[in-house]
Amino acid sequence: MKLKNTIIALLAASVMAGVTSCENILKVDSKTVMYDEENTLNHVTDTVYSVLGILKQIQKIADRTVILGEIRGDLVKVSNHASDDLRELYSYDFANLSSTNKYDKAVDYYSVINNCNFFLTHADTSYVRDRKNVFKGEYITVLAYRAWAYLQLAQVYGKVPYFDKPITGDNASAGTPMDIKQLAQTLLLDFNDEYISYYDKFMPNYGKLGGETTGDGQKSEQHESKDVFIPIRIIMGDLCLWAGEYARAAMYYHDFLTFESNPYTTGINCVSWLTNDFLNMGSDNYTSTIFGKSGHITYIPMEADHYSGEVSDLANIFNSTRDNDYWYQLTRSQAATAISVRQNYCYYAKRSADNSYKWPAYMTDKSAEDELLYRGDLRLQAVLDVSYRSQEDDENNLSSLGTELQTLNKIKAEKVWIYRKDVIYLRLAEALNRCGLPQTAFAILKYGLSTSTVADISQAEKDRAAALGISAVYNFPSRVFIQATPDWYETSVSANGTRVSYYCFRWYSNANTMGIHSRGSGDAADDPNYTIKVDTVGGRIPTLTDSIRAVEEALIDEMALETCFEGYRFGDLMRIAMHRAGDPVSPAYGGFAENDFLAKRVAIRETATYDETKAIDQTRDETLYTTLKGDGRSFNKAWFLLLPDEKQQKAE
């Protein structure tokens, strides 16, 4: 595959450029970060401004990461007021996208990659001061940015040219075409475990970013610099997961979540009913904390206004705002609603004061047309507010204004999220499952991993983990150090009467750990109907592969319930379809992916049924299904947008 002159020329001109702006959160001066080929980045200001310059390039693909990750999946649909660009993407006619479609700009991804390559090539990593490699932290940071950008690019364009050197006017040679698995395997070679220990000690710290006065006189949001860097264990886990190195992926995710100086228990935040009568909504501490400091990990900081630079448009796409005359452009699909409705909300009631007997109660009447968002799992109604406005209430009484109002509570104007802790727990479950540990993976969904739940996992499964050398995945510490804040001091009185304050420890237990499914489906840990459902029709004896595939069915639904509208969906569908091509029972065995896994879900995005007794693909768009399934096992270009050279070949 050869990149044509258009992209080559653009990339050659973009090396460490394209960052001119007015006052903005990253405060990058383009003159500071413009270098020629021979220059070396050997000053602290060089590397700081270079890293922030790369981050400004990432801002350009932030919205696209969400839009292209969702609109090709099964959880969103376009409204009657969606832009032509969004409608084109939703149609899956990628071979005929208009040349002006703003979401189809591969060069923006390559601009990030090219600037990363420039930095990695020219940074002086030999410079040591006070026995510290001054630029190594930035070097690792940029490696992570490049790996993340390549993974996003490949999820959008399929097989893409790989470059590990900056493209300039003098070396515009063709890159090596790779699919996402090949890319992940190649990029993993750039990392090593020594980088992890170094990054733990010397992650770059640029202090606070933002807080500047914007063009309209408002203050922009202030960001901690650590929140805009990608943790090294997470990106290595992602690369391993895409590369099919499941045991390594599981350990990287596990070690990130349990890292002693900053562990991430799941917490017990959820949305629930007050009682088992299912009439009165209870407390919702889910949406208030989902993107709070206890839950977020990494995001792309965006500008507060166009005067300052790159602004996110996600609010005008998913929300009813005055700027869009209250007409949102993307909303939940029938499939997203169906996945939510089909869950069992379980309330595990106590019969007596001594708790001697309990019983599960379930939300019923899931087929009712009214109040669909209150049927089954409650997360969808928690993150998506829907209301109606009478036109008579409008100050101008204009019939052109929308009356159905929608607000997606996951959107933050100045933040586009890359990672949060529940995403990492779900990927840990995905990796563990593919290691041959389905009970352990399902425990993350049903109970949350802690000392007590690990004790219930079969010895045979623990033996499989030991054979893989990853028994440490069961070490979710029963006692972990929590980063000190004033609220986390405890006080005791010593023998001589002196009061002593010390940092408290927290336990991975049911006091701070829960199954991800309980975020919106009630007491999942006590729900006897929430189990690994393996097909035993005809008296067949289930195999380990059967259990793995059954857990994936639960996992892909949980990913929908927990991370809908966040941009992960197409990648999740694609990745699990790829895992399944390694199953001997799969008709796609040995191929690129079990295409049917993805195809049958996307094909029912507008027709899914709420009745769980009916097959998932009973009513589907057969044309779309056929397109996405292809031959069932080979790399299917219909899943992806076209690179410029592919468009040129098609035109010729």
Task: Summarize pLDDT for 405-453 with one digit per residue, the tens.
Answer: 999 999 988 899 999 999 999 999 999 999 999 999 999 999 998 888 8
Which fold is adopted by the domain 5-214? 1.25.40
- The conformation of residue 188, written as its DSSP 8-state character, comes to H
What does the pLDDT read at residue 32? 29
Which of 300, 127, 334 has its CA nearest to residue 227? 300
Q: Kindly state the helix (H) or strand (E) to which residue 644 belongs, with its residue range.
A: helix 644-651
Per domain, the residue ranges of the chain are 5-214, 272-287+303-418, 483-509
What does the pLDDT read at residue 17? 44
d(CA 174, CA 196): 32
> In the structure encoding, which two tokens stand for residue 200, read together?
């733990």
What does the pLDDT read at residue 305? 81
What does the pLDDT read at residue 172? 47
> Long-range contacts for 570-577 (Cβ within 8 Å, ≥24 apart)?
570/68, 570/69, 570/70, 570/72, 570/73, 570/155, 571/69, 571/155, 573/73, 573/74, 573/597, 573/598, 573/601, 573/602, 574/155, 574/180, 574/598, 574/639, 575/241, 575/242, 575/430, 576/430, 576/552
Which of 326, 196, 313 has its CA nearest to residue 251? 196
- The conformation of residue 41, written as its DSSP 8-state character, comes to B
Three-state DSSP class for 291? coil
What does the pLDDT read at residue 307? 78
Q: Which residue ranges in the chain fall short of pLDDT 50?
A: 1-7, 9, 15-23, 27-38, 170-172, 480-494, 499-506
CA distances from 32 to 51, 168, 306 (A): 12, 19, 22
18: left (phi over 0), alpha (psi -120 to 50) or beta: left
User: Which residue has tokens 């869950």?
Assistant: 343
Three-state DSSP class for 350? strand
d(CA 182, CA 430): 20
What does the pLDDT read at residue 505? 42
d(CA 241, CA 185): 10
What does the pLDDT read at residue 350? 65
Does residue 424 contact residue 297 with C-beta atoms inside 8 Å?
Answer: yes
The model carries a pTM of 0.89
Which of 282, 309, 320 has its CA nearest to residue 411? 320
d(CA 619, CA 641): 27
Q: Kindly state the helix (H) or strand (E) to which residue 9 belongs, with its residue range.
A: helix 5-14
